[in-house]
Amino acid sequence: MNIQDNRVVTIHYKLTDDEGTLLDSSEGQEPLTYLHGSQAIISGLEKALTGREEGDSFEVTVQPEEGYGEVNPEMIQTVPRAAFGGIENLVPGMPLQADDGNGNVYHVIVREVKDEEVTIDVNHPLAGKVLHFDVTVQSVREATPEELAHGHAH
Ligand code: ZN
pLDDT in tens, 95-150: 888 777 788 787 889 999 998 999 999 898 899 999 999 999 999 999 999 999 99
* pLDDT tens digits, one per residue of 4-55: 999 999 999 999 999 999 999 999 999 999 999 999 999 999 999 999 999 9
Count: domains in the chain? 2
Same-domain check for residues 117 and 134: no
Does position 85 have pLDDT exceeding 90, yes or no?
no
Domain membership flag for residue 1: no
CA of 148 to the centre of ligand 1 (A): 9
CA of 149 to the centre of ligand 1 (A): 8
Same-domain check for residues 103 and 82: yes
Same-domain check for residues 64 and 12: yes
- Show the domain range for 108: 73-121
Query: CA-CA distance, 127 to 109, in Å (whole number)?
Result: 12
Q: Residue 22 sits in a domain of what CATH number? A: 3.10.50.40
CA of 139 to the centre of ligand 1 (A): 19
Same-domain check for residues 25 and 64: yes
pLDDT of residue 100: 73
Same-domain check for residues 146 and 107: no
Same-domain check for residues 31 and 56: yes
Same-domain check for residues 25 and 99: no
pLDDT of residue 97: 82
In sequence order, the β-bridge partners of residue 15 are 24, 133
| 78 confidence band (pLDDT: 50, 70, 90) | very high
CA of 152 to the centre of ligand 1 (A): 6
Same-domain check for residues 77 and 100: yes
pLDDT of residue 18: 92
Q: What is the mean pLDDT of residues 1-5?
A: 97
